[in-house]
């Protein structure tokens, strides 16, 4: 008589459950995924899913761990390459001082001229890999409806990737810059990978990176607020407010008026 109930704990059951969970979370998000559907996708009884991971929340956190080396990703983004003209590296060669509040100052790096473009290309390349894409999709789909998924996405973008990047550059307002760049990156990934807005969704990575990179670059190293216009200089009395400028008489300088009550002088 065949045995019924939970199948025996095979060594690959955990890996199969995680793979099925990533696929299910990626398609339905946290709210739409069920332990029964995940078990069916893994070919195991749902009780075995609970046995290995306890709850759907614990399984979600385990399944959405991105298989990425963040330090390696940041090193690739900041690798040697063309530097900004007039940037810290060039100014050092000229003997000028670079302060701690500037990119490339003490504790920072020289700023690659294509830093924003590199960041966009590197993140999209890693996140669109077959082994990573389902995890990213699961996090993005779930972040709009589940607070835990939203917190996971914020931690990934702001604290693990862009926060360390902006702090390493030594720029002022590092946290604000990280959140601005993160908002741009999340919107880009949502439009490309979730909503599928064309032609963005199928555009080559180099095209997307070249188009979005300059905006990311400004968020990371550029001026965030426009500078106040220079104060106007003092005005001359002739152009002071409320006083119209004097106008010369038509035909040349103003002619002198004859004295009151007297005609032109007569010769005697």
pLDDT number for residue 134: 85
Q: What are phi and psi of 265, to 5 degrees?
A: -60, 135
Asked whether the beta carbons of 43 and 54 are under 8 A apart, the reply is no
pLDDT number for residue 139: 85
pLDDT in tens, the chain (268 residues): 444 444 555 668 999 999 999 899 888 888 889 999 999 999 999 999 999 999 998 898 888 887 678 888 888 888 755 544 344 434 444 445 444 334 444 334 467 889 999 999 999 999 898 888 888 888 888 888 888 888 888 888 888 889 999 988 888 999 999 999 999 999 999 999 999 999 999 999 999 999 999 999 999 999 888 766 666 666 655 555 555 555 655 555 555 555 555 555 555 5
CA distances from 11 to 3, 17, 52, 97 (A): 19, 11, 12, 60
Q: Tell me how far apart the alpha carbons of residues 141 and 28 are, in angstroms, rounded to a whole number.
A: 7
């Amino acid at each position: 008589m065949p045995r019924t109930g939970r199948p025996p704990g095979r060594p690959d059951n955990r890996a199969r459950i995680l793979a099925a969970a990533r696929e299910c979370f990626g398609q339905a998000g946290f709210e739409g995924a069920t332990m029964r559907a995940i078990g069916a996708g893994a070919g195991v009884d749902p009780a075995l899913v609970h046995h290995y991971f306890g709850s759907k929340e614990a399984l979600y956190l385990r399944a959405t761990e991105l298989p990425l080396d963040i330090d390696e990703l940041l090193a690739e983004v900041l690798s040697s390459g063309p530097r900004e003209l007039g940037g810290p590296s060039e100014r050092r060669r000229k003997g000028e001082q670079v302060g701690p509040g500037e990119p490339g100052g003490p504790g920072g790096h020289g700023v690659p001229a294509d830093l924003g473009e590199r960041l966009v290309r590197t993140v999209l390349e890693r996140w669109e890999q077959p082994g990573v894409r389902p995890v990213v999709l699961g996090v993005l789909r779930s972040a709009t409806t589940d607070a835990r998924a939203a917190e996971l996405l914020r931690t990934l973008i702001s604290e693990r990737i862009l926060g360390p990047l902006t702090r390493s550059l030594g720029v002022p307002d590092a946290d604000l810059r990280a959140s601005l760049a993160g908002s741009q990156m999340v919107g880009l990934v949502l439009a490309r990978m979730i909503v599928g807005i064309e032609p963005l969704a199928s555009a080559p990575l180099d095209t997307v990176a070249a188009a979005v990179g300059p905006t990311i670059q400004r968020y990371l190293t550029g001026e965030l607020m426009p500078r106040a216009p220079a104060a106007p200089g003092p005005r001359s009395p002739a152009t002071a407010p409320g006083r119209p400028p004097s106008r010369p008489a038509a035909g040349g300088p103003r002619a002198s008026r004859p004295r009151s009550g007297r005609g032109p002088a007569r010769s005697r």
